[in-house]
Structure 1
């Protein structure tokens, strides 16, 4: 149990206790603040309080945090998760294809559960699990950052919002693309198929990315993609709708993406999160073997 003390400034007089805490304790959400108050972990002059209590300014708040709750399931055995960076704030791993980021039920471990078991400690939203601020599709490999604490989760989320994060992906796409291109448009769920997303909808949400060619191959192109927004399936959707579907993408590509000889070599959509740059951290995830096999085949090796 850790104890934190905060003195309420005079100019905060009249503020609600729960809102004051969520605004002044890094990473503490309003919901989490209310929960801690209701559980008796927030006291003023030694007494329990209500979330709606009005502050008068000058008083001292004592905030105690209980030990984080252990996860409901504990997986130690599972796919290898090479660690690209590890400090008191963030862990960055090289996620393998075929592994979900967050728990999805069943007996298959997720990245979050494996990292929690192998690289403790974590304390995010009162749980002994890493905080997820950005995601990779199940069959996308590469750089994935996870937060150790509420404060580091909030800092990571703020870095994304303030465009301080640079994410670069490598994708093998069918056909010959322009040398470089920027794609932007509305983004939303496909009204004809809830599993899919599309830019061909009316939506206030936007999706934007740019790419440039890294290598021209036999019937395909290796491109490096820079994400400007982080929408679900975004790279796969925008490249496919621009006429350059990701190789072996069963959801967004035509039959050719699955029957192409290199599709069998990679065995999943050929998308890899190659580099990730956060404030003070820059890492690169080596290309996995399946991606390298597809590249070798396309090069004619």
Structure 2
């Protein structure tokens, strides 16, 4: 698994890697340098070298792998492989599948399936081979897998430099504005480190643009373009504007929302929850540059049946 961090630089004329070694006392310098090189560490939103000299007024943010076990068990779990070559694979992840092993999830993850299905995977993140980015457990859709270290570094740089284009679909509560932009800092909730929220300082920069596909009262079908890749970003952003995602208990979109709307919607919403028992969020499209050929590659995962059924239920009730 990984853990994120944000530090305000409190020293002058210190190398980036040396600063992080001081702050992250339980992490080796070599792993810190690898994280910096692979684009997992940003200084004021920019990728720098390990040798970069900090001036004492910057914000350093990033994430580091936290090893949870030495051996990954290969498991014959079916995968929907949208594309594969010698450098990468594109998977349409099902909802309910955790991406990589972590506390309480040592089997049944996407990584367990990848180790079974592919002979070669990148090893830069040794307890999550092949994993360049993540999708939440409940989120379905497109995820790219690196099959060697060169591809992993190339793809990681694309994500760090915000060159990867991502499109998500969500069903959100209420009447979402026709289009807009949500920007701000995201940080951990002080009372629960598994939950994130918009913060005023010491958070990570985040940006999502959105546009409405359909108003399906009392919900809205929305297309979202996350420009950054923060943990729970879309979920946090939609909550911050008062339109949490359907069935997202963690961020206020659970069954309690039914009471916020007119009683005429109660029967419809109860039926909706019987069909939609996970966060109604889908990673629909992904565009990356191929690490070897340099060509733009676009992939799309169709909206899964549970979301299609939920949308049809709403449409029929209009």
**TM-score under structure 2 length normalisation:** 0.68
Distance 1:106 1:133, change over 3 A: closer
Task: Give the whole-Å Cα distance in 1 for the aligned partners of 2:147 and 2:29.
Answer: 19
Task: Give the whole-Å Cα distance in 2 for the aligned partners of 1:129 and 1:182.
Answer: 33
Shift of 1:217: 0.8
Query: How large is the RMSD of aligned CA atoms in angstroms?
Result: 2.6
Please give the secondary structure, in 2, of the residue aligned with 1:240. helix
- Runs (4 or more) in structure 1 with deviation over 4 Å come to 126-129
Aligned to 1:265: 275
* 1:282 counterpart = 2:298: yes
Shift of 1:296: 1.3
Please give the secondary structure, in 2, of the residue aligned with 1:198. strand
Can you give the 5+ residue segments of structure 2 that lack an aligned partner in the other structure?
Answer: 1-27, 35-69, 260-265, 290-295
Task: Give the whole-Å Cα distance in 2 for the aligned partners of 1:231 and 1:185.
Answer: 11
Contact 1:247 1:257 in 2 (8 A): no
How many residue pairs are counted as aligned between the two chains? Answer: 237
Please give the secondary structure, in 2, of the residue aligned with 1:182. strand
Distance 1:188 1:117, change over 3 A: same
**TM-score under structure 1 length normalisation:** 0.72
Task: Give the whole-Å Cα distance in 1 for the aligned partners of 2:163 and 2:258.
Answer: 34
Aligned to 1:167: 166
Please give the secondary structure, in 2, of the residue aligned with 1:251. helix
Q: How does 1:72-91 map to 2 (within 5 A)?
A: 72-78=71-77, 80-91=78-89
Aligned to 1:188: 187
* 1:238 counterpart = 2:248: no
Task: Give the whole-Å Cα distance in 1 for the aligned partners of 2:277 and 2:258.
Answer: 11
Larger radius of gyration: 1
Shift of 1:269: 0.7
Please give the secondary structure, in 2, of the residue aligned with 1:195. strand
Contact 1:181 1:211 in 2 (8 A): yes
Contact 1:99 1:111 in 2 (8 A): yes
Aligned to 1:14: none
Task: Give the whole-Å Cα distance in 2 for the aligned partners of 1:236 and 1:217.
Answer: 19
Please give the secondary structure, in 1, of the residue aligned with 2:144. strand
